[in-house]
Amino acid sequence: MTHFTHYIYQWYDQNQRALPWRLTRDPYLIWVAETILQQTRISQGLPYYHRFVGRFPDIHSLAAAPEDELMKMWEGLGYYSRARNMHAAARMVVNEMGGIFPQEYENLRRLKGVGNYTAAAVASIAFGKPYPVIDGNITRLFSRYFGILEPADTPKGKNTLAGKTREAMNHSDPGYHNQAMMEFGALCCVPKNPSCHDCLLKDSCFAFLNGMTGLLPLKNKKIARRIRRFYFYLLENKENIIIEKRENADIWRNLYQLPLLEAEEDLADAAILSNYLTRELLAGEKPAVQKISNTLRHELTHQIIRAKFVRFKMPKLKASGNRIIINKKEIHKFAFPVLVRNYLAGTVDK
Ligand code: SF4
């Protein structure tokens, strides 16, 4: 064992957080936890994990679940393709693999939504296979400690990193090793102001010795975020409103929303109140009240949404196509993107 692994294991034994998925080797539960925790803080993901495995305790219950129920359970967690992919993967395990979760890395990779990271996590933690996981925490820790100077988002940087994680792997307990490395990166070797002065690795850490903790890991590209302009229409008649399902291959697929107009440029109020969509929605009726909200900004990893909500109080409602009329008391039964849910909940000005 190297000084690097020895110290991190010691630290992990004393400092690891007590998390429910650390108490199990059930591949299904580990897969659920690892999928929920992608791009998600543990404090945010933990209540979702408990609700999810409470309702879907095994692969069979997940495979049999109606998709709307699954999306509702995922509501607010973001990256909704994770939920859709889990559903497809659960059905594949049940229908094509006899309901037995695959053990081998290559077979895990065949499941929809399971990438290198999740396959390595499940293979190592549930089945003791020596596949190193590489997530943001491990990329940062290894880049700093070993002084990887190739950008972590280039093929060369990825190869060097993968090589280092393979060299460091502990073949007698790969799951423990992977979790210790991730936890150390998450709690000690953090992105900003890492705890270097308390870190027993500092005398051999490249970044610390060279004053480069703030620079590593290096990155090549900045993510260019696309700006989108969404105009949502809340049509109300007494206690009823109109909603629609998002069915296109786009963000929030299979979630519900208010009827939406997307525009290339910011629209003036006159265009927001009168356009091809309002003509279709109003169907000749004259709204008693019309109100436009301020612009709400909603940030996703690759997109920035600038949204306005337009409220029409209508003498009557008419829904067609994929739109449905619901009572406001039923809103809780549908999964909405957080942006729309907050508006409907009245947490932004109506
Ligand atoms: S010394 Fe600092 S940068 Fe190096 S491994 Fe420890 S916490 Fe990370």
Percent of the chain with pLDDT over 70: 98
Task: Indicate if 75 belongs to the active site.
Answer: no
Q: Is the confidence at residue 290, as pLDDT, over 90?
A: no
Q: What is the pLDDT of residue 35?
A: 96
Q: Which atom of ligand 1 is nearest to the CA of 202?
A: 1
Structure confidence by residue, pLDDT tens digits, 243-268: 999 988 889 999 999 999 999 999 99
Q: Is the confidence at residue 222, as pLDDT, over 80?
A: no
Instruction: Give the pLDDT band of residue 321 (cuts 50, 70, 90).
Output: confident
| Cα(237)–Cα(293) distance, integer angstroms | 19
Tokens found for residue 339: 């942006």
Asked if residues 229 and 263 have their Cβ atoms less than 8 Å apart, the reply is yes
Min mean pLDDT across 8-17, 126-135, 215-224, 330-339 is at: 215-224
CATH 3.90.79.10 residue ranges for the chain = 226-344
Structure confidence by residue, pLDDT tens digits, 87-125: 999 999 999 999 999 999 999 999 999 999 999 999 999
Asked if residues 323 and 259 have their Cβ atoms less than 8 Å apart, the reply is yes
Q: What is the mean pLDDT of residues 162-166?
A: 97
HSE-CB for 222 with a 13 A CA cutoff: 3
Structure confidence by residue, pLDDT tens digits, 175-189: 999 999 999 999 999
CATH number of 3-209: 1.10.340.30
CATH 1.10.340.30 residue ranges for the chain = 3-209
Instruction: Give the pLDDT band of residue 348 (cuts 50, 70, 90).
Output: low
Instruction: Give the pLDDT band of residue 225 (cuts 50, 70, 90).
Output: confident
Q: Ligand 1, residues 144, 146, 148: which to mutate, most atoms within 8 A of Cβ?
A: 144
Instruction: Give the pLDDT band of residue 349 (cuts 50, 70, 90).
Output: low
147 lines ligand 1 (CB under 6 A): no
Distance 129 CA to ligand 1 centre (A): 27
Q: Is the confidence at residue 223, as pLDDT, over 80?
A: no
Q: What is the pLDDT of residue 347?
A: 60
Q: Is the confidence at residue 350, as pLDDT, over 70?
A: no
* CATH class entry, domain 226-344: alpha beta
Distance 183 CA to ligand 1 centre (A): 13
Q: Which residues contact 290 (CB under 8 A, 6 or more apart)?
A: 273, 310, 311, 312, 313
